[in-house]
Amino acid sequence: MPLAKDLLHPSPEEERRRHKKKRLVQSPNSYFMDVKCPGCYKITTVFSHAQTVVLCVGCSTVLCQPTGGKARLTEGCIIYYDFHKCLVKVTVKH
């Protein structure tokens, strides 16, 4: 009697929804990202779940503020993610 779904080959969407310790291969939900300041265009590395306010090194503008989980980025910041050696550029809009 075959199973209704394949336990050895779950879909990527199903794996993403699972708890980080209950995945087939454990992996964290947090990541580091490079954030470009909208004022002086300097790049600062920010942790995705930062628990303190992150300020720009050049002009002291607030780049992100802590929330209960992930840090909320300031509007206008440009984010550079590095997922699997592929650089992704995103502009923050609220």
Query: Tens-of-pLDDT digits for all 94 residues of the chain?
Result: 777 888 888 888 898 889 999 998 888 888 898 999 988 989 999 999 999 999 998 899 999 999 989 999 988 888 887 765 566 777 777 6
Among 50, 58, 52, 56, smallest CA distance to 35 is for 56
| pTM for the model | 0.74
